[in-house]
Amino acid sequence: MSTRANRLFSGRVEFLLSAPQLKFLPEPDFPEIAFCGRSNVGKSSLLNALAKRKAIARTSVTPGRTQELNFFEVGDPTQFRLVDMPGYGFAKAPVKVVERWKKLVKTYLRGRAVLERTLVLVDSRHGLKDVDREMMTMLDEAAASYRVVMTKADKIKASELEATVAKVTEEARKHPAAFPEIHVTSSEKGMGIGELRAAVMKDALRIE
């Protein structure tokens, strides 16, 4: 599975379009895997690591740079799409902007028939925050199944990481739409990236 996933992601992975509103969404022709997380959780870096590219997804130290749904196609011909969702939990963004993004995300999650799985990214240094719990509850209510992915695992001590993963795993079990397996990754060190590639491909293509 990992070999096939590595080969797939080594091939064509291309940006398709940005959708600031639902009317700009591409036709639901292919399965989609969405990525969401707090601002600065390392979403763009993880997308780049998965796609084996340096800049397929823009990285920025400025929270809230991703303000729309960004779609990337994987495979030639296209097998599925990756969807980079707006980061959440930014204190400095205007209330109206945050509400607009929330509405876009919520409506996408509820109404996108081709959405196979969502990945909820959580910073290993901080564990689950209230905004992450809010997102997980939103996914539960939308009956949109999701995997929790720990990012930046190389930034803390192994003992601290183990404790944080245990806490997140215990809490995720209480959420009906959460996948039981937690993925622990580091985009910088490559930790867990191959396994996550395989999981993404498996979810997108419904491989048993």
Q: What is the pLDDT of residues 142-194, one digit of tens each?
A: 999 999 999 999 999 999 999 999 999 999 999 999 998 899 999 999 999 99
Q: Is the dihedral of CA 142, 148, 152, 158 positive or negative?
A: positive
Poorest-confidence range of 18-22, 67-71, 95-99, 198-202? 95-99
User: CATH classification of 2-205 is 1.10.600.10, yes or no?
Assistant: no
Tokens of 202: 């498996």
Q: Look at residue 56 and tell me whether its pLDDT is greater than 80.
A: no
State the pLDDT at residue 63.
47
Residues 119, 35 contacting (CB under 8 angstroms):
yes
Tokens of 67: 């303000």
Q: Which amino acid is at 32?
A: E
Helix runs in the chain, H state only: 2-10, 43-50, 95-111, 130-141, 158-172, 193-205
Percent of the chain with pLDDT over 90: 73
Q: Look at residue 19 and tell me whether its pLDDT is greater than 80.
A: yes
Residues 71, 29 contacting (CB under 8 angstroms):
no
